[in-house]
Amino acid sequence: MSAAVELVRNAAGRRVPTTVNGKAEVPFQGVNGYRPQGVKHAPPIRSCVDYPASGDKRVPDLETALRKCGLKDGMVISTHHHLRDGDAVAVMALETAARMGARDLMWFPSASFPAQKAVIKLMESGAVHHIEGSMNGPLGDYCTQGKMRGLGVLRSHGGRWQAIQDGEVKIDIAVLAAPCADAFGNANGVSGKSACGSLGFALADAMYADHAIVVTDNLVPFPCVPPQLAGNYVDYVVEVDSIGDPARIVSGTTQITRSPDRLKIAEYVARFIRDAGLMRPGFSFQAGAGGTSLAFVAFLREMMREAKVKARFVRGGATKYLVDLLQEGLTDYILDGQTFDLDAVRSMASDPRHVASSPFASYNFHSKGNTASLIDLVVLGATEVDVHFNGNVVTHSDGRLLHGIGGWQNCLTAGCVILAVPSFRDRIPIIVDEVTTLTGPGEMIDVVVTERGIAINPLRKDLLDAVRSSSLPIRPIEEIQQEVERICGGKPQKPARSDRPVAVVKWVDGTVLDTVWQVN
């Protein structure tokens, strides 16, 4: 990566590079400020003439499949992360490509996890040039140290679909792990020893890649039903013994937090929703699979029962807690973007009201609307939030890149966006003067709930009015900040970062929202 990157200040006041990995980029133009031009990416037309009439697309191994896909230096290899920290396929694919002599590959995962830290070796050997995609843990750390040859590009789940659809990233070979597949390439995540529920993150890859390989440890006779991923997009099918570690693909049970502070936050969130009048018949909400989110759902469930209020739909991060709502009749539907535990996998497999959704339907901003903006409220986390309600989910206050964006940015168009965060972590305050890395503009974040009080964005006078007479601890954000700084002994230290970009954060429309800088 050249050190002579030109930087401009974007509409959020952040300095961002004008080119990323050799491509010109549009700086963030403000929320809703950018309108795309042109047409969607057009993959090559294929013909049945070139595929076996029997439908049997199996080849003996991944090496054969990659060779038949024309693996070359510099290609973009994509994978999905529905197997989360249990995934074995991404590293298998990249190590196979490396063994075959490929160099300078770009790895384009929908997210990467600590279990994939072997990719660091592949970057050091030159087989992988850089990663574009969420980097959780060691890979993000490696990136922040300035060791990656290209810039990291962090995109939201919807932003990744947008980038593929709009041709910003052209995938040469998609290598798609499938808990269940047939020899034609139809695949789903709802059955098999490696079941993971939805396969939504793999769909854009299949639709738009030049070549797609399905890798499965559970081959069934045609047809694999439901065909979440259509074999008509698939070139080759590879059978392997195992696509991953089931224990880390889904947790047997997801756990509600036991921390008294987190429980307090969760209860505040639920009470806020109730008291602000958001918990009305037919409402909808989205919650993640973290301990605080699960606790919030449990609190809200009690309140819904008590008030006899039924939701029209809930989105997640599906877990046992959402499944319970469905089965108890407290929601008509679950729209499931990612399936986190075995209860949710089983529910998706058996209950037509538990709908597998994709980032296209849920999150893609370059589409004719999406689900995210229809949701009444969403509860999200953050690593930092600043006094202007700007949010950061990717770096810590020390500047290290340790988390992906997930669907976080996409969810900010919900009717009410609530950040549920502890006021400090490891004695580092979460409410800061200015976020280390801007991931979500403050104008889109409505409420910050901590164990020390609830701050409402002054732009949301309606919410301030709605809870004025409640018993909730509504406080100015600066007041909570100051209290926490007293406890922690001051503001967080400024990160010791250089002026060298190591990654960029894209906004949902493909523009560049912020830069992650090398940490010295």
Binding site for a second copy (CB under 8 A): 32, 34-55, 57, 165-166, 184-185, 212, 221-223, 225-227, 230-235, 282, 312-313, 333, 335, 350, 352-353, 355, 360-361, 364-371, 373-374, 413, 509
Are the beta carbons of 113 and 136 closer than 8 angstroms?
A: yes
The length of the chain in residues reads 520
Per DSSP, 84 falls in state G
**Tokens matching residue 53:** 């009439």
> How many whole angstroms separate alpha carbon 502 and alpha carbon 22?
14
292 or 338, CB closer to a second copy? 338
End-to-end Cα spacing for the chain: 17
CB of 47 to a second copy, least distance (A): 5
Burial 354-393 (b: 16+ CB within 10 A, else e): bbbbbbbbbbbbbeeebbbeebbbbbbbbbbbbbbbbbbb
Looking from the CA of 154 toward its CB, the CA atoms found within 13 Å total 33
Nearest to 423 by CA among 454, 392, 394, 401: 454
Alpha helices in 351-430 (DSSP H): 359-362
> How many whole angstroms separate alpha carbon 470 and alpha carbon 453?
13
Alpha helices in 371-446 (DSSP H): none
Strands 453-456 and 416-420 come out as unpaired
CB of 83 to a second copy, least distance (A): 23
Nearest to 212 by CA among 190, 238, 191, 193: 238
Strands 453-456 and 447-450 come out as antiparallel
> How many whole angstroms separate alpha carbon 327 and alpha carbon 306?
17
32 or 469, CB closer to a second copy? 32
CB of 367 to a second copy, least distance (A): 4
CB of 452 to a second copy, least distance (A): 32
Are the beta carbons of 418 and 450 closer than 8 angstroms?
A: no
CB of 428 to a second copy, least distance (A): 35
CB of 235 to a second copy, least distance (A): 6
Single-letter amino acid, residue 383: T
20 or 335, CB closer to a second copy? 335
37 or 469, CB closer to a second copy? 37
CB of 26 to a second copy, least distance (A): 13
CB of 41 to a second copy, least distance (A): 7
- Identify the bridge partners of residue 256 per DSSP, sorted by sequence position: none
207 or 263, CB closer to a second copy? 207
